[in-house]
Amino acid sequence: MNAIILTGKVVAISENKFSKSGSPKVEFTVEMETKNSPVRWNCIANGALSESLSNLSEEDYVLVSGRVEANLFAGSKSLTIILRDAQRLEVNLPDTECGTFSQ
């Protein structure tokens, strides 16, 4: 079992979907800045968590936690976070590059 917690900006959202069992599901991409270049993580929320994220929009900042799952297809590798929890963050950015996060 692995675990990850990170904050970042939502840069893409797929439309709300349903799993094969009929449970609600939402997928979105979170981008976090690193020293060298931005890193993007695919995120999947299921069930009640998916419903609580239904009003999420691009440019929102989020705190997400879950487990990392690697997917191999057609010779490329994709890392996805299967979410256990997620929260939208209010961001107060001053005129500098540094910002503060508050819930």
Domains of the chain as residue ranges with CATH: 4-102 (2.40.50.140)
Please give the residue that has the higher pLDDT: either 15 or 64.
64
Reported as a pLDDT band with limits 50, 70 and 90, residue 94 is low
The residue type found at 22 is G
What DSSP assignment string belongs to 40-102?
EEEEEEEHHHHHHTTT--TT-EEEEEEEEEEEEETTEEEEEEEEEEEEEEEEE--SSS--EEE
Burial 30-58 (b: 16+ CB within 10 A, else e): beeeeeeeeeebbbbbbeebbeebeebee
Q: Tell me the average pLDDT across 43-72.
A: 91
Read off the pTM. 0.79
